[in-house]
Amino acid sequence: MGRYVARRLLQAVPLLFIISVILFVLMQSIGDPLATMSGRRPTRSADRERLKRQLGLDQPVLMQYVYWLVGNDWTSIDLDGDGVRETRGERKGVLRGDLGRSLKKRQPVLDLIGERLPNTLLLMGTYEMVVLVGAVALGIYSAVRQYSIFDHAVTGVSFVLYSMPIFFIALLSMYLLAVKPKQWGLPYFPTVGMFEPEAGKTVPQVIWHMVLPVLSLSLISLAGYSRYMRSSMLEVLSQDYIRTAKSKGLERRYVLFAHALKNASLPIVTLIGLDLPTLLGGAIVTERIFGWPGMGRLFFDSVSDADTPVVMAILMMVSVAVVVFQILTDVIYAWLDPRIRYE
């Protein structure tokens, strides 16, 4: 197993390298970060020229990539525009943990991400748990009561929810749970932000503000997950060992939770393994609609401003997480299912 993991990690290095090159090339023309730097007017030509030089954007793409990857503290750069490289570079490069500085916010990218990541993890972690618990419950229930009215209803609703764009669910839930109750004078859910500024960032406030985004996020995934769980459960329930356990006279609930659930959850492990790392990136659309100060909004705003260091950092972070989680998933899977052996 150790060797397997080591080999997978080694394979990940060229993979991440390819990804970083592709992304870096894409970054070169997702827009002009300097265009909006001068507030509401197009940037003055003299400033544009100076900023390009100071930020290193005048260098050839290859050089910019090298600076991004390994930094530029081993060489000198030209700050004053006299053509002489007189100043020692200060960047350390991604490989040494320096993700660069935001062109727009002028702060280290690491700080920006550090501010937003906890918010995203809170939202997405809650969502993941709601989905997981809900999907397992719904899946088992539908599987046990196969072809009951409940099962058919869940199937139908799942399909509809699954076909909805998340923003439509979000708009609908805002309309039905916030706008309308408000008009009728009923209590309603907040639609924007993490907390009311007047009330402060308290636990009840944050939970209260999380309801609508978590609901919108969960409904779609719940639909997919619970169907998955249902078919996986159905398959397990038809296996011989379940029949044996039943015929031994074991209590029904015991068979269901102790024997069937464990094995039926295996495919869910894979799903979660693929899902978790992308949660780091946050939910772009949901965070935007509900004004949640998370990574998704940071990403979208940074793309809009062509703030390439931030965009690059978020994408690489998510990529690394996906690769790591793929390996982790395989390991956990093998650990849960003794039939699987990695050579």
Q: In the complex with other proteins, which residue's Cβ is closer, 5 or 320?
A: 320
List 2, 197, 249, 338, residue binding other proteins (CB under 8 A): 197
String of DSSP letters for 70-108: H-STTSEE-SSSSS---EE-----GGGT---B-TTT-SB
H or E stretch covering 52 = helix 45-54
**Is 22 an interacting residue with respect to other proteins (CB under 8 A)?**
yes
Which tokens belong to 122? 């809170």
The alpha carbons of the chain give a radius of gyration, in whole angstroms, of 25
CB of 258 to other proteins, least distance (A): 15
Q: How far is the CB of 13 from other proteins (least distance, A)?
A: 11
**How many residues make contact with other proteins (CB under 8 A)?**
137
Please check whether residue 67 is in contact with residue 56, taking contact to mean a CB–CB distance below 8 angstroms: yes
| 181 touches other proteins (CB under 8 A) | no
Task: Using the rule CB under 8 A, give the single segment among 1-9, 25-33, 68-76, 92-100 that binds other proteins.
Answer: 25-33
- Based on the shown chain and the rule CB under 8 A, indicate whether residue 29 belongs to the binding site for other proteins: yes
Q: Is 64 in the site for other proteins (CB under 8 A)?
A: no
Q: Which of 93, 100, 273, 294 binds other proteins (CB under 8 A)?
A: 294
| Rounded-to-integer distance, Cα 99 and Cα 183, Å | 47
Task: Give yes or no for residue 339 binding other proteins (CB under 8 A).
Answer: no
Distances (CA, A) of 214 to 110, 219, 273, 292: 26, 8, 20, 11
Query: Residue type for 28, please?
Result: Q
Binding status of residue 293 toward other proteins by CB under 8 A: yes
Shortest Cβ distance from residue 2 to other proteins (Å)? 23
Select the span of 2-10, 91-99, 118-126, 328-336 touching other proteins (CB under 8 A).
118-126
Cα 286 to Cα 296: distance, rounded to the nearest angstrom = 8
CA nearest to 218, candidates 124, 112, 99: 124
